[in-house]
Amino acid sequence: TYIGSIVASVNPYKSIPGLYDGAAVERYSKHHMGEISPHIFAVANECYRCLWKRHNNQCILISGESGAGKTESTKLILKFLSAMSQHSLELSCREKTSCVEQAILES
């Protein structure tokens, strides 16, 4: 469940098909936090949006007891951020300019 910009999650200790696949990455990348059901990808997407759209530094704190899934949560966040970065790279290649080049051109 969401608590502001915090997501409280429980390790199900079993695999749930479709919960963390490419379709989930795609779904959460298109929505703001709180628009669809709570998910770790929603938190990662909010951080990604704040980092690139608002130019605000971001930090994600993952906390829990031993065996709660902190390492797996970190891997999932990195998976999401990697997918989003790859998507941004593909867009900039299509536009023939990178974010850095665009910033230089706008200065």
* 67 marked among binding-site residues: yes
* 42 marked among binding-site residues: no
* 88 marked among binding-site residues: no
* 97 marked among binding-site residues: no
Helix axis angle, 70-94 to 40-52, nearest 10°: 40
* 69 marked among binding-site residues: yes
* 18 marked among binding-site residues: no
* 72 marked among binding-site residues: no
Q: DSSP characters for 23-67?
A: HHHHHHHTS-TTSSS--HHHHHHHHHHHHHTS----------STT
* 8 marked among binding-site residues: no
Q: Which residue ranges make up the annotated binding site for ATP?
A: 64-71
Q: Which residue ranges make up the annotated binding site?
A: 64-71
